[in-house]
Amino acid sequence: MHIHGVCRAIAFLITSKETKNLFNLVDDGDTTQARYYSVLSKVIGVNIECVGSFKSHFASLMMDSVVSKMNDRHLRTWFDILQQYQITDSPLNVRVYREMCENTNLQVNGSLLKSQGFQLQHKWMSVQLLDEVLKSHIEEEYLPKKLL
């Protein structure tokens, strides 16, 4: 969900009389990991691909090792980037957790929030919206300008 939508939803709920429910904040895009990677790869210019079922099954047999190797590789690079560009505080987290890689499908329903009258301004993730968010991170010095 777009950050502006998250902020609008929080403000909406603060002013509402609804206090007993838990609300899911989700877009209407039926966003999948493959769709997210597709949009992200267009924005940052790096090919990101999902592996096939055979590789996924093999990796699941050694999940702790796979996650550890991913973190060794990506965290070191991420911290080098932060240090190189003197970024001392970033809300972005590149750590991979085992739960993120396990074979669990997650579908989140945001209909309860909509039933209260909340309407999304951004219905789904797009290249334009993700580019906008990344540019704001660059302006706030959470990301270096050279990365995009």
Separation of alpha carbons 122 and 125, rounded Å: 7
Mean pLDDT across the stretch 36-65? 71
> Alpha helix locations (H) across 1-148?
3-15, 33-44, 53-61, 63-84, 98-101, 111-115, 127-139
pLDDT for position 134: 84
Per-residue pLDDT tens digits for 38-51: 887 887 777 766 66
**pLDDT at res. 118:** 93
| Whether residue 11 has pLDDT greater than 90 | yes
The overall average pLDDT reported for the chain is 80
Which of 7, 127, 133, 141 has the alpha carbon at shortest distance from 82? 141
Packing angle between helix 53-61 and helix 63-84, nearest 10 degrees? 100
Q: Averaged over 90-104, what is the pLDDT?
A: 73
Q: What is the mean pLDDT of residues 111-122?
A: 91
DSSP single-letter state for residue 20: S
Confidence of residue 58 (pLDDT cuts 50, 70, 90): low
